Amino acid sequence: MKAETPLSIAVVTVSDTRTDETDKSGNVLVDFLQGAGHSLHSKQIVKDDVYDLRAIVSTLIADSSVNAILTTGGTGFTPRDNTQQALQPLFDVHIEGFGELFRQLSYEEIGSSTVQSRVFGGLANSTIVFCLPGSPGACKTGWEKIIAEQLDSSHKPCNFVDKLNI
């Protein structure tokens, strides 16, 4: 299904080891967003470092041509999973229900292992940011069951498109 209002979306993969050739999760997100009629603003891979990640996402948030940012990776519990620490301070508003709903849906797929998924989302400078785990399956679940509808202005009773700089 094509989104009624095409958005400009950036994809950021958070990983110390992925390359353009091995970034399956980032590529899944690119395929989904383009398949929905949105445009890819940029795709980047950044090391799982609080300051590097915060700098890149801050630049994207400040760019008025970016409507949404999808990150993949860095949401687990290892010492190198820094996405929450890096990005949550940037948010004007946290989307509490995103992580809750994602884990509920993910439970149906992977059982109790979903408790180790620290997915989250927020709004910053009228840009929506969804932070997903680093697996292609998790990106598929997040996109197909939550994000696609929330980035489609025709989804009722509500979606995030009217809260973005378009």
pLDDT at 165 > cutoff 90: no
What percent of the chain lies above the pLDDT cut of 70?
99
pTM, two decimals, is 0.96
Hunting for tokens 């980032």 — which residue is that?
A: 26
CATH of the domain at 85: 3.40.980.10
Tell whether 151 is covered by a domain.
Answer: yes
Q: Three-state SS for 95?
A: coil
Tell whether 36 is covered by a domain.
Answer: yes
Tell whether 70 is covered by a domain.
Answer: yes
Tell whether 1 is covered by a domain.
Answer: no
**Both structure tokens of 50:** 């609080």
pLDDT of residue 94: 97
Determine contact, residues 55/63, Cβ cutoff 8 Å: no
- The domain of 73 spans 8-159
pLDDT of residue 47: 94
Q: How many domains does the chain have?
A: 1
pLDDT at 53 > cutoff 80: yes
Count other C-beta atoms under 10 Å from residue 165's C-beta. Answer: 12
pLDDT of residue 5: 94
As a whole number of angstroms, the distance between CA 22 and CA 165 comes to 32
- Of the two residues 92 and 117, the one the predictor is more confident about is 92
- Average of pLDDT values for 16-40? 96
How far apart, in Å, are the Cα atoms of 111 and each of 5, 57, 105, 123, 136? 35, 31, 10, 29, 17
pLDDT at 76 > cutoff 90: no
pLDDT of residue 166: 83
pLDDT of residue 83: 94
Give exposure, 68-86, as e/b (b: 16+ Cβ within 10 Å): bbbbbbbbeeeeebbbbeb
Tell whether 166 is covered by a domain.
Answer: no
Q: What's the mean pLDDT when you consider all of the chain? A: 95
